[in-house]
Structure 1
Amino acid sequence: MKRAIPVVALSIAGLIPVWRYEPSIGGTTSSTAEPATTPSASTTAASGTVVKGTTITTDKGPVQVQVTFSGDKITAVKMLQQPNHPQTTAAVPVLISETLKAQSADIDTVSGATITSDAYKKSLQAAMDNNAKSASASPSASASASASASASASAASKVVAGSTVNTDKGRVQVQVTFSGDKITAVKMLQQPDHPQTTAAVPVLIAATLKAQSADIDTVSGATITSDGYKESLQAAIDAKG
């Protein structure tokens, strides 16, 4: 039988990873609680896959967790619903800490918060089961779709560096991104370190994107840079084919 973790241990400041604990607002409002059989939902975020566990109704109030996964690894746990009770408040950081350590719902019950602990573990296990089902649903299809999208993006876009043009002010070289025959971006790889050049470059790039060619006006006060820019740009257009 697993040992019970005393809640009193939580009074020691700094030992509990409280930055992972986000208590829910109005956790005691039972009117908003879902049935215990409500299926969990998952979404994909930049930080990983976020999965909600089922809502477990207890004598103290509803309990529901939200788990963030990176693959199969649990990286964060957040309480969506919890009883508004001092022992629950003290127990939650311990439960979350143990979950991150064990990477499962097989964790100790916190002494003094048995009801909350049991409900937490049930909601956690539901989230883990849902994540496993989602991961195994269609891995080959997901990989195929990802590879196809990557291949399409690669085929649609082409990056070409123009020739380096030596000027009296310094070297000028552009890099052009094409989507089919369309110029979608221009980047300066080399340019003179001069205030007039710095001011002229955004104007030259904007004119290029509008004209979709190197047939653009020279920027007054930056004639040398403008001519070098257009020469390098035309070389990139020619090299693209």
Structure 2
Amino acid sequence: MKRAIPVVVLSIAGLIPVWRYEPSTATSSTSQVAAPAPSTPASGGSSSRVVTGTTVDTEKGPVEVQVTFDGEKITAVRMLQQPNHPQTTAAVPKLVAETLRAQSADIDTVSGATITTEGYKESLQAAIDKNAAAASASPSASASASASVSSKKVVAGTTVDTEKGPVQVEVTFAGERIGSVRMLQQPNHPQTTAAVPKLIAETLQAQSADIDTVSGATITSEGYKESLQAALDAKGA
């Protein structure tokens, strides 16, 4: 009986290394989890692509933009992150309107919002670069962009005489879409100057003249919408 004890002890001791070095099932399972598949644009024959720019950390807070492209054309810009500051809030519509007009990140700095402007332009340029890289990898996208350029049409709206002065817009169409809006005539008034970028941004988002009147610039807004509608009607004629 006493001789049997060492044998049992050795048998148990021999199992210890097996238990100690047994692979962890949890660790193995975790290491084999696949990364999520990258999202792909919805099909439907459209060359529209939504691209997010880099997040730029500024002294005022993070700035990040999301850009919608139709081929290589910028059709919309949305702020995903921006500093919570009145000057930034006032600057963003101007930055978006300038972007849609210039079709690039080469835009003027908004007075009083220099830091936000620089962050905006950096994030915007990153989105433009991403879109260009994606477009170069897709021959069909390049062909669509060429077709879009060939279908461009510029139409001037009627001149609307208001109490503040004449208002006239010029609309550039990319196919059936409103690609950009430019003021040919507008009242020389601070409220008009502040209102115009908002009116243009709203137009590009709504793709029509059915937009809200800008508070404090009712007369200019009404003249703008009338001239805009005339341009839309002339395009369809």
* TM-score, shorter chain, exceeding 0.5: no
Tell me the TM-score normalized by structure 1. 0.40
